[in-house]
Every structure is written in structure tokens, then in C-alpha cells.
Structure 1
Amino acid sequence: MCVGIAGIMLVALIVTFGWLVFGRYVLNDTPTWVEQTSLVLVVYITCLGAAAGVRYRSHLNIDFVRESLPPLLRGLMHHVSDLFIVVFGVFMAFQGWQLVMTNMQRAIPMIGLPESVRAAPLVICGVLIALFAAADIFRRLTSRSTERA
């Protein structure tokens, strides 16, 4: 779902820039809202992409050290790295929420939306990252318990 929403927003970003080019060069009237709108869209696309990267385990990691360890330590390293990702996601959501609450009254220039709209992806992404990493831990723990039985 994250990838789908980010894809729709990417299409909206392309259409927005298309309108910018059309307005500037054909209508000779540059739409001023495009820059701020595109910045908001880029933040949402990036954050949703980061959450999807955690979900599909395609985020940047260096696993040659972990994979060279014995199976017990390798499993422990998986849990520790996922736990770090959970903590990071919770921290990101918490700090993002503070940013959202602090900027409720400030408006984004040219589009008039609250500045909190730009900070909201941090909360959404932080929660999703924490949930996806916790789900990986849970999946790994339950798959091991079913393998032993």
C-alpha cells in the first residue's frame, strides 16, 4: 500500500511539474504553488518509500559480517538490528509528532496548508517503520517456535 500511494503521489508530482512547464512557457503565467506542492509530495514519497524499504527488507544494510557468524549469533544480530529499527521508528514518530503539533498554526507559503502537513510523513513513516520491523521480529520468533515443534 505504501508503494501504491507513493506511486500515485509520484504521478501527481509529474503532473504538477507538467503544469509548471505549461504555465510558464505556454500561458506565460508561472503557477507559484507548484514548488511548495512538489516539496510536500517529495517528502511523502520519500517517507513512504523508506517504510516500504523496511517492509520488503530492501533498505541499505551490510550483512556480510552477520552472515559469516554462527546461526545463533546471526539470529541474535537479526533481532538486534530490527530492534534498532523499531527504536528509530518510534523516535522518528515521536519527534515528528512534536513537529506536527508545533507547526499547526504556521501556513506553507503559496499553498496555505498548515506546515504540519509537511511534518506528518515523519509520524506516518516512523509508525510504519516501527510496525514493519516489529512484525519482522515477531515473524522470525514465531517461525522458529513452529520449526522446533
Structure 2
Amino acid sequence: MYHQASGSGPVFRVLDGCARLCIAIAGVKLVSLIAIFGWLVFGRYVLNDTPTWVEQLALVLVVWITFLGAAAGVWYKDHLSIDFIREGFPGPVRTPLRWLAVSGVAAFGAFLAYQGYVLADKTWPRIIPMLGINEGWRAVPMSVCGALTVVFSIYHMTLLAQGKPFDAGAK
């Protein structure tokens, strides 16, 4: 379960909508993943005809689920972090550490977006066997996640610059 974001304004609503859309798409893909594995089991043990495309599609779906979930995790601040150490410091030390943390996440997101683009671009000409789609579709979610991570981090930086509580993006 994810945290419920709290905030107001059109920018907040758009970004929160993006995060919710990521979760919804990842959820649909997760249900699809479960369904295709059900088909795999049915085909293998009942029909005695294993659908060979399931493994390739599962790999594509897992990448999308993972990266969309990671992007939403940045928005809701459910990503892996060790806040209690930073928050244990006094205010004059804590504030620069907060900036460092958010800036680090944004820098990582930018790197992820760029490298995802490069990987998608280089693998686009190849076709995934059994599926007939471009190999680059495995790298597109990496780039999308990186871009959303940057945008979400910039929003968190604006909250920090306004002196709002650092956890203003989540309850």
C-alpha cells in the first residue's frame, strides 16, 4: 500500500495523477502477468502445448511493473531510504542533508532517464523473439521512470525551498 499524498494546487494534482497512473498501469500489467502464467500452466499441463511466448512477455511486463512502481515510490516517498539517521541530526545539519538526499535522487533519475533512452535507442532495431515487438520496449520504462523521478524530485525540492515539511509529499 502506498502513502496518500497530501498537497494542493494544479502542479500537485498533475504529478499525483501521474504517480497514480503509474500504479494503475503497473497493477494492470501485474494482473496480466498472473493471467499469462495461468495460461502457461494450463497450456503445459492440460493442453500439453507450452506457449513459448509467455517467458518473453513476462520479462517485458516485469520491467514495466518495476520501473513504474519505482517512479511512484519516489513521489510517495516509499522508496528505499534511511531517513531516521538524517532526521536525528539538529536542524542546521538536517536541512543540507535533506537537499543532498533529494538532489541525489534527482541526479540518479536523470542518469536513469538518459541511459534508458540510450539503451532503447540501441536495441530498438532488434525484435523480441516470439513477440514481434522491438527490443527497445524493455528499456523505455527505465527512461520513463528516470524522467518522472527527476520531475517528482524537483517538486520535492520546491517544497524544501519553501520551508514546508520535508515529508509534505506523503502522510
Distance (whole Å) between structure 2 residues aligned to residue 123 and residue 21 of structure 1:
33
Distance (whole Å) between structure 1 residues aligned to residue 34 and residue 163 of structure 2:
42
**Which of 4, 7, 28 in structure 1 is aligned with 2:48?**
28
**Which amino acid counterpart does residue 34 of structure 1 have in structure 2?**
V
Displaced runs of 4 or more, over 2 A? none
1:140 deviation in Å? 2.1
**Which of 74, 86, 90 in structure 2 is aligned with 1:70?**
90
1:64 deviation in Å? 2.7
**Larger % of helix: which?**
1
- Residue 147 of structure 1 is matched in structure 2 by none
Deviations 1:20-74 (A, max 9, x none): 1111111111111100000000000000111111111111111232112111321
Structure with the larger RCO, 1 or 2 (CA within 8 Å, 6+ apart): 2
Q: Does 1:15 align with 2:35?
A: yes
**Which amino acid counterpart does residue 76 of structure 2 have in structure 1?**
Y
Q: Does 1:3 align with 2:23?
A: yes
1:143 deviation in Å? 4.3
Q: Secondary structure at the match of 2:34?
A: helix
Distance (whole Å) between structure 2 residues aligned to residue 142 and residue 65 of structure 1:
23
Deviations 1:76-113 (A, max 9, x none): 21111110111100111101101111111111111111
Distance (whole Å) between structure 2 residues aligned to residue 104 and residue 64 of structure 1:
43
The answer for unaligned runs of 5 or more in structure 1 is 145-149
The answer for unaligned runs of 5 or more in structure 2 is 1-20, 165-171
Distance (whole Å) between structure 1 residues aligned to residue 40 and residue 162 of structure 2:
51
Percent of aligned pairs sharing the same letter: 50
Following superposition of structure 1 onto structure 2, how do residues 122-141 of structure 1 map, counting pairs within 5 Å? 122-141=142-161
Distance (whole Å) between structure 2 residues aligned to residue 72 and residue 45 of structure 1:
39
Question: Between Structure 1 and Structure 2, how many residues are aligned?
Answer: 144
Distance (whole Å) between structure 2 residues aligned to residue 107 and residue 72 of structure 1:
54
